[in-house]
Amino acid sequence: MAEPALNLPAGHRLARFERLDSTMSEAERRARAGEESGLWIWALEQDEGRGRGGRDWESRRGNLFTSLLLRPLAPLPTALQLSLVAGVALHDAAAALGAGQELAGDLALKWPNDLLLSGRKVAGILLESLTTPHERGLAVIVGTGLNLVSHPAEALYPAGSLAERGVRAEPGQALEALAAATDRWLARWDEGEGFEAVRKAWLERSIPLGAPLRIKLDGKEVIGVYAGIDRDGALRLGDGTGAERRVSAGDVFIAS
């Protein structure tokens, strides 16, 4: 029996694959070939799934692996705000999938854009940009991996899945929820005009202020407390005395 067509928002399109090297790689190929904005690449399995920092993303069938190709009108520095847009949308999509299990209160965003469920990573976002020789040359690709039914036994950060909390969702259902939430938050963002609303929403969905953090960057480890994100979307790391430092990159862990 053919898989039913997904219900995507107006202006969104879908390219579905049984198997791909990577949805990010396919989106990049499509962008270079001139594909327009609003295309979701969805694969049931990936052979070379990518995470942040060049790490592999375990891609077992039954989980969601998707990348969205966007061509924002905003300049690149503003377009990078889409990382926070994607985080808020992912949080809302997961909460909607788990509405019957009341997941929302246990979901939290961890900078730069991991989604935690009861402290365990259930999803991650990867954002990449490139310039292509077309009329709207800038392309931003937002990749999302959401653990619906399984998770890595060993990972940089303790992992989990929605199924462990009793959520039963097919990848297609998850993609529909993600596309709907993304469409809403893209409209709120409005090419950067609504970024402050997005930033506020991200903070409302993030780990608690004051949470102890460890940050690994360039072989060094920095310890501090979570003080939110600034108006550019960078992490604010406090030292417990009221002083802060701005962190724009790094692997972030909640310290025990």
Per-residue confidence (pLDDT) for residue 4, from 0 to 100: 62
Residue 197 falls inside a structural domain: yes
Partners of 169 in the β-ladder:
none
Domain of 106 in residue numbering reads as 13-204
Per residue in 150-185, pLDDT tens?
988 766 778 999 999 999 999 999 999 999 999 999
Note whether residue 2 is domain-resident: no
Give the model's pLDDT for residue 138.
95
Q: For the segment 112-153, what is each residue's pLDDT rounded down to a tens digit? A: 989 999 999 999 999 999 998 877 789 999 999 999 999 887
151 inside domain: yes
CA 157 to CA 252: how far, in whole Å?
Answer: 9
pLDDT tens-digit profile of 27-68?
A: 999 999 999 999 999 999 998 767 655 556 666 889 999 999
Virtual CA dihedral for 182, 121, 109, 221, nearest 10 degrees? -130
Query: Looking at the structure, do residues 150 and 237 belong to the same domain, yes or no?
Result: no
Residue 218 maps to a domain: yes
pLDDT at site 147: 96
Question: Model confidence at 2, in pLDDT bands (50, 70, 90)?
Answer: very low
Let me know if residue 5 belongs to a domain: no
The fraction of the chain above a pLDDT of 90, given in percent, is: 77
Q: Which CATH number is 150's domain given?
A: 3.30.930.10
On whether both 200 and 223 belong to a single domain, the answer is: no
Same domain, 230 and 111: no
How many residues are recorded in the chain? 256
Q: Residue 50 falls within a domain, yes or no?
A: yes
Does 216 lie in the same domain as 200? no
Total number of domains constituting the chain: 2
